[in-house]
Structure 1
Amino acid sequence: MVVFGIRLFYLQVIRHDYYKKTALSGQLKEYEIRADRGVIEAHDGDQVVPIVLNEQRYTLFADPKYIKKTNEVATLIQQIIGGSQSEIEDKLKLDTRYSVIAKRLSKDQKEALDKLDLVGVGTREDPIRTYPQGDLAAQLLGFVDNEGVGKYGLEQALNKQLQGKPGQLKAITDARGVPLVANTDNIVTKPKAGDRVLLTIDVSMQRQLQDILKTGLDNAKSKSGSAIIMDPYSGAIKAMANYPTYDPAEFYNVEDSEVFNNASVSAPLEVGSIMKPLTAAAALDLGVVTPSASYYDPSYYKIGDATITNIEEDGGAGTRSVADILEMSLNTGATWLLMQMGGGEINQKAREAWHDYMVNHYQFGKATGIEQGYEAEGSIPDPNDGFGLNIQYANTSFGQGMTATPLQMGAALSSIINGGTYYKPYLVDKTTNADNQTDSHKAEVVKSNVVSKQVSDQMQKLMEGVINANYSIYGFSERPTTYLVGGKTGTAEIAKPGGGYYEDKFNGTFMGFVGGNQPEYVIVARVNEPDINGYAGSRAAAPIFADLTKMLINNFNISMRN
């Protein structure tokens, strides 16, 4: 500090005229001043609360050329910042003119170091993100690295908006390129702070979702999972969580970078039988079946060299209804629905019709565009290219051989129970820039008439029937007839990297809705590889759905049905 101070005095006062005259010959340089990063807020009932703030911290650096007694200096520094005295000393001996000794120092530590007045040692401001709500929505938010760049989640997706516009410092420098910050010839453009961002999530709902998800995963002896709550009539995400999670304030302590990913949007999976309502909705919308239709189910279908069967409790061959397909989760029933799209068999017409609904109606195979880093698209097989297309498409009718994220499933379900509109899922409710100009989000329609209003009403009733037929298995003590509750389980085989499926590994999924006279919330739950007796969908994922449904009814003013 003393050396720098003396040199600055010399350059600014004694040699000021010289540097003023030679500025145009290479002494005038341009520096960037980092802007304050935008604050992130969320709803908490009727209030708005901050969930990501900025806090000033400091980086300690040294110019080893000026450090003569490295052991003494290292000891003095270690007494203030802690850590290893020997490691500090090693950094003071580096063959460089700029050695970073420590980062993220507090103001108290910075002031204590300033009082030491150590020659060749200095500090610079280095703001960090702080999280008043702890690990709340960690993967959804992401974090900011040591270079001030947003990583993962919202911080990555909105990095440009959040980081603001940096200022500029044009300064005469000394021979080492150090800016003479006190010089009156400096030209400063003030930085412009990043946008203040208000999210759609509710803090209380988010916290309860995280707790319920964690409890459900523990009960299912599963190491990981995800859950989403969203508004089916706008696409707004009300809560979204993954486990395991992390503390974004200490992201640098995370050993497995997979924990950073928001699996709800970045980890597609073969979704299993939660696909069946979408298959049924497509068949109903095409007019090839009606809700009251019945058919003879042989309990298996032979397609090429493959055989499609059901779970052992399906009751065997017999007459089944469209409602039975969902309530009994019949793979053969979903296959039969696909066959009706082809006039009674799986053919090119059936494949193309089902592909059209999956891709152009339900928007599978493409990113939703939600404000998140690393969103995955999922995959849908081409209807006219590849070996074994008929069996491949039969598999997709019950959620195998295709992949989608939990978010994509939630958005697709919303479109078949909200009257037939696919809304783009979103997390940002409002942004306010440094000039106090506000941009409020408006619900964005991606596709109208996904299915007809009539089919949408029919799907509500069919999915409500699934809950009423299986409520005790799913975690309800009684049929939730006072409220509108519908849903569907899924138990999906896990694909092997080299092809085929594991015989003893499954993912459990559940998607459904809850409301009064109409659906108010859509819920999707995913449980990875639970270690339980029974089916992963009904025994692992369904109880999470049931607990989330009860939480929403008890705490978030869902009105009873008329």
Structure 2
Amino acid sequence: MRDQIRNQKNNLILSRKRLNRRIFFIGLFFISAMGYMGYQVTAIKIYNGKDYQKQVLNRMMSKDGQINPQRGAIVDRNNKTIAASVLSYHVILDPKMVLELQESQQESIYQTLSEVAKRSKEEIKKFVEASPRSRYSILVKNIDADIIEPLKQKSLKGVWFEESFTRKYPKGEFASQLIGFYNKNGEGQYGIEQQYNDYIVGKAGRIFSQLQDEQIITTEIKPAENGATVVLTIDEVIQQYVENTMNKYIKEFNPINAAAIIMNPNTGEIYSMFSYPSFNPSHYNVLEEQLGKEIWESLTDSQKAERLNSAWRNYTIQNSYEPGSTFKPLLVAAALDESIMNPEQKYICNGTKVVVQGVAPIRCWKREGHGEQTLEQALANSCNVAMLEIVEKMSSETLLKYMERYGFGQPTDIGLPGEEKGQLHQKLGPIERATYSIGQTFTSTPMQLITAFSSIINGGYLLQPYVVSQIISDKDEMLYKAKPITKRQVITQETSRLLVNYLKKVVDEGTGIHANINGYTVGGKTGTAQKRPLEDEKYVLSFLGYAPINNPQVVGLIVFDEIPEGTGAPARAFKEMMTNILPYLEIDLANSNQIGDAQLSKMPQLTNTDIYRASELLSHEGLAYEIIGVGKKITSQYPNEGTYLPKNSIVKLYVQTETPESIMQIPDLQGLTVEEAKLLVKDTFVINQDSRGVVVKQFPKAGHKIEKNSQIIVITSE
């Protein structure tokens, strides 16, 4: 028993010794490890501390930030702004900092920002509380600089303003399909915005921080390179004439599509390009102002997409159609050049012609026929039978050769995205050759047609059309300069001169008589093309015209898709446009008949004055006037200062604004009392009239767009 107790005691002593040894070694290990770690930390601090510090600081401070470049402007040939990027700001919040402020400070911030963000205080409060740990939350984007500048002076804690740029289109729907738009993804889409995006977009700058001299942290900035300015061949004044006229006829006849092109036939420069339906690039994905809010909201998503795609589409280069009789002058020119016929030849039109035995004859539009005609008369009367007789003597190969030389079946290379090239047959049988002669069964875009037509009035040369004249960098460096490009000579100059004179008869006596303009010599050709399926009896009506006859300097094409026959709408529209465009381009009248004893007025100097002063001066001279453009500052005039005009002549005043964001349309005040008129224009315009009568006349007229807070002069009657 005693030995057993002794053994247990000895075992307990041995166990305790073993435990103590283990504790000793574990403690020794931890002491050694801590000592080693302390040594390493000390060594790093003493020997490598600066290097490690630099690495840590560099990682902390070298995060790059991007400086967005300003997108380049798009301007017309006279440097009038069509699209531009203006300074704006994103409103950025630091929710963590805001929530650390006193409640009264928070309320003040919420109240101030609610006016900017167009949200209630409660909404902004919820926005902040939804991300309590965030140091960067975008409350609202692209707020105009004039709204933000006063806020920057308030030094709102937890709020700062990040510079950005907003794309502005101050002229609304102006040439919208040509211009395109800047989409929400920050990309140019359609038209100039897409085609020349690489020039316009600019290059982003960088902002980054670095450790310098081991202790000083510096911030380095690589400035952004702003985008280049694209200068168009488009003339703002001519484009406005075209748009106003086209919209008038669209309202009257409601076509499904319409197009108009005004061009210099000797250079290929496009002065105006119009396409319908249209859109506003500032609101490119909404057509409320075009269709009406109620109609737009009633459409399904797929219907909205369809309407938008149609509005974005540039009819002048992307829609192919059968040109009809506007092609006939090109056929005649080819036949003359090939000596298939001579100018003295005569034709007998009985109303129909059999092309292939056993196949129904092709009819002339004049069912009873035109009788005997010269070539000039056949063009003036747009006789189908005469064209059928001409093409009957021309081989299919020759006809297709000229079609290709005129540029049909191939893009014009105008320098815009999505250009179509139309359709031609590879081979022509007798029926196809006959239908080609009257502009049917092949398709062309309006741009192809006007380019081809220009070749028969400019001496026979096919030119490459273009809409961009220059591209100028932000540093005023010339990056690109266009020059006229002649692709080839299609017909001889002799044939061209003959056709120029023949087509005058179309306007003087023939189907294009609606295009006759007093004082000018005009030539042209009408077109009526039946759409397929033929049984629907729907037509594309068009007119191609030019002036003056002795030296064509401007050519225009007007197209209306599905309007009634017999209205003469395309030729009438051409006349209305050119009545303004020809004087604007300073194209001389065909004659200089003396005014005789008529009383004359002298045109005053009006450029750089405003419309109010101009109205006084012109009234004093007994001259009427037309205001063209938006705003009240006169940038140019026609005629020029010192020109003598008959009394009551109408002069042109071209205006522009320096503050497009403040433009508003003047309402119609006639028939209202002065009190009612003042109430109607309250906070928008100023009426300086204390009379209590009824407004019988106003200046500027209703509908003119002018800067907010401008004066409206009214004349009243008791």
Q: TM-score, normalised by structure 1?
A: 0.80
Give 1:91 deviation, angstroms: 6.6
For the residue of structure 2 that corresponds to 1:57, the secondary structure is strand
- 1:358 maps to a residue whose letter is M
Counterpart of 2:494 in structure 1 is 454
Is residue 230–residue 236 contact of structure 1 (8 Å, CA) maintained in 2? Answer: yes
Distance in 2 between the 1:450 and 1:82 partners?
62
Say if 1:558 and 1:108 are closer, same or farther in 2 by CA, change over 3 A. Answer: closer
Is residue 422–residue 450 contact of structure 1 (8 Å, CA) maintained in 2? Answer: yes
Counterpart of 1:127 in structure 2 is 165
| 1:32-71 → structure 2 map (5 Å cutoff) | 32-44=66-78, 48-60=79-91
Distance in 1 between the 2:416 and 2:234 partners?
14
- 2:206 maps to a residue whose letter is Q
Is residue 210–residue 242 contact of structure 1 (8 Å, CA) maintained in 2? Answer: no
For the residue of structure 1 that corresponds to 2:80, the secondary structure is strand
For the residue of structure 1 that corresponds to 2:568, the secondary structure is helix
Asked if residue 144 in structure 1 is aligned to residue 182 in structure 2, the reply is yes
| 1:90-489 → structure 2 map (5 Å cutoff) | 93=130, 100-110=138-148, 115=154, 117=156, 119=158, 123-170=161-208, 184-254=217-287, 256-257=307-308, 258-297=310-349, 299-303=352-356, 307-316=360-369, 318-342=371-395, 350=396, 352-359=397-404, 361-383=405-427, 389-438=429-478, 439-447=480-488, 449-470=489-510, 473-476=513-516, 482-489=519-526
Give 1:16 deviation, angstroms: 12
State which drifts further: 275-284 or 21-30. Answer: 21-30
Say if 1:503 and 1:37 are closer, same or farther in 2 by CA, change over 3 A. Answer: same
Distance in 2 between the 1:366 and 1:16 partners?
69
For the residue of structure 2 that corresponds to 1:429, the secondary structure is strand
Counterpart of 1:176 in structure 2 is none
For the residue of structure 2 that corresponds to 1:417, the secondary structure is coil
Deviations 1:417-444 (A, max 9, x none): 1001111111122222234222432111
Structure 1 residue corresponding to 2:118, chosen from 66, 82, 90 = 82
Counterpart of 2:557 in structure 1 is 524
Distance in 2 between the 1:305 and 1:67 partners?
89
Say if 1:282 and 1:66 are closer, same or farther in 2 by CA, change over 3 A. Answer: farther
Distance in 1 between the 2:151 and 2:88 partners?
13
Identity over aligned pairs, percent: 27
Say if 1:190 and 1:116 are closer, same or farther in 2 by CA, change over 3 A. Answer: closer
State which drifts further: 84-93 or 371-380. Answer: 84-93
Q: TM-score, normalised by structure 2?
A: 0.64
Deviations 1:141-188 (A, max 9, x none): 222223332121111111111112332345579xxxxxxxxx945553
Counterpart of 2:582 in structure 1 is 553
Distance in 2 between the 1:354 and 1:470 partners?
26
- Pairs aligned (count): 510
For the residue of structure 1 that corresponds to 2:242, the secondary structure is helix
Give 1:391 deviation, angstroms: 2.5
Give 1:103 deviation, angstroms: 2.7
State which drifts further: 99-108 or 264-273. Answer: 99-108
Counterpart of 1:9 in structure 2 is none
Is residue 19–residue 172 contact of structure 1 (8 Å, CA) maintained in 2? Answer: no
Give 1:291 deviation, angstroms: 2.2
Distance in 2 between the 1:406 and 1:375 partners?
11
Counterpart of 1:11 in structure 2 is none
Distance in 1 between the 2:514 and 2:575 partners?
7
For the residue of structure 2 that corresponds to 1:201, the secondary structure is coil
- 1:107 maps to a residue whose letter is A
State which drifts further: 135-144 or 98-107. Answer: 98-107
Is residue 38–residue 164 contact of structure 1 (8 Å, CA) maintained in 2? Answer: yes
Say if 1:308 and 1:474 are closer, same or farther in 2 by CA, change over 3 A. Answer: farther
Give 1:484 deviation, angstroms: 2.8
For the residue of structure 2 that corresponds to 1:217, the secondary structure is helix
Give 1:487 deviation, angstroms: 0.8
Say if 1:279 and 1:63 are closer, same or farther in 2 by CA, change over 3 A. Answer: farther
State which drifts further: 161-170 or 57-66. Answer: 57-66
Distance in 1 between the 2:132 and 2:495 partners?
73
Deviations 1:262-302 (A, max 9, x none): 22222222222111111111111111112222234451334
Give 1:455 deviation, angstroms: 0.7
Structure 1: 5+ residue runs without aligned partners? Answer: 1-14, 174-182, 343-349
Say if 1:82 and 1:547 are closer, same or farther in 2 by CA, change over 3 A. Answer: same
Counterpart of 2:652 in structure 1 is none
Return the index of the structure with the highest Cα Rg: 2
Structure 2: 5+ residue runs without aligned partners? Answer: 1-48, 101-105, 288-303, 592-718
Is residue 42–residue 50 contact of structure 1 (8 Å, CA) maintained in 2? Answer: yes
Distance in 1 between the 2:122 and 2:373 partners?
76
- 2:201 maps to a residue whose letter is Q
Counterpart of 1:347 in structure 2 is none
For the residue of structure 1 that corresponds to 2:460, the secondary structure is coil
Give 1:247 deviation, angstroms: 2.8
Is residue 91–residue 100 contact of structure 1 (8 Å, CA) maintained in 2? Answer: no
| CA-atom RMSD in angstroms | 3.5
Give 1:491 deviation, angstroms: 1.3
For the residue of structure 2 that corresponds to 1:313, the secondary structure is coil
Say if 1:213 and 1:77 are closer, same or farther in 2 by CA, change over 3 A. Answer: same
Is residue 381–residue 511 contact of structure 2 (8 Å, CA) maintained in 1? Answer: no
Distance in 2 between the 1:172 and 1:501 partners?
74
Is residue 314–residue 330 contact of structure 1 (8 Å, CA) maintained in 2? Answer: no
Structure number with the bigger relative contact order (C-alpha 8 A, sep ≥ 6) is 1
Is residue 80–residue 112 contact of structure 1 (8 Å, CA) maintained in 2? Answer: no
